[in-house]
C-alpha cells in the first residue's frame, strides 16, 4: 500500500509540474511539448498503478497505447516545427498563431 501511495504522489507531482510549465512557457512550442510529455508520462504512471492495484493487464495496455500516441505526437510536432522553422526562422507561438490556412 505504501508503494502505491508513493507512486500516486509521483504522479501528482509530475502532472502538476507539467501543467505549470505549460502555463508558464506559452511562447515556446518546444517547452510546451516537453510539458505535455511530462503530463502524459504521469498518466502512464497512474495507469500502471491502477493495473498493479487491481491485478489487471488493462492498465498496462492503455499505458503502452498512451506512450505510442505520445511518441507519435512528439515526432509529428517536431517535424512540423522544423518545417515551420525553415520557412519563418522562428518558433514562437505568437507567430504560429498568425498562420491562416
Domain boundaries, the chain: 2-96
Query: Positive or negative, the Cα torsion across 52, 53, 56, 61?
Result: negative
Task: Give the pLDDT confidence of 36-58 residue by residue, as tens digits.
Answer: 889 999 999 888 888 888 888 89
- DSSP, res 4: H
Q: What was the pLDDT predicted at 51?
A: 87
Task: For residue 15, name the pLDDT band (cuts at 50, 70, 90).
Answer: very high
pLDDT at 28 exceeding the cut of 60? yes
User: CA–CA separation, 89 vs 5, rounded Å?
Assistant: 46
Q: What was the pLDDT predicted at 85?
A: 78
Mean pLDDT of the chain: 83
What is the phi/psi pair of residue 84, to 5°? -70, -35
At the topology level, CATH places domain 2-96 in Helix Hairpins (1.10.287)
Q: What was the pLDDT predicted at 50?
A: 85
Q: Does residue 45 contact residue 7 with C-beta atoms inside 8 Å? A: yes
* Mean pLDDT score, 78-90: 79
Contacts of 65 (CB under 8 A, 6+ apart): none
Amino acid at each position: 500500500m505504501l508503494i502505491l501511495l508513493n507512486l500516486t504522489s509521483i504522479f501528482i507531482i509530475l502532472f502538476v509540474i507539467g501543467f505549470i510549465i505549460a502555463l508558464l512557457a506559452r511562447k515556446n512550442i518546444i517547452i510546451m511539448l516537453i510539458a505535455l510529455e511530462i503530463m502524459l508520462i504521469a498518466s502512464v504512471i497512474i495507469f500502471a498503478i491502477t493495473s498493479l492495484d487491481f491485478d489487471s493487464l488493462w492498465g498496462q495496455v492503455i499505458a503502452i497505447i498512451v506512450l505510442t500516441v505520445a511518441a507519435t505526437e512528439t515526432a509529428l510536432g517536431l517535424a512540423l516545427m522544423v518545417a515551420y522553422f525553415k520557412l519563418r526562422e522562428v518558433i514562437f507561438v505568437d507567430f504560429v498563431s498568425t498562420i491562416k490556412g
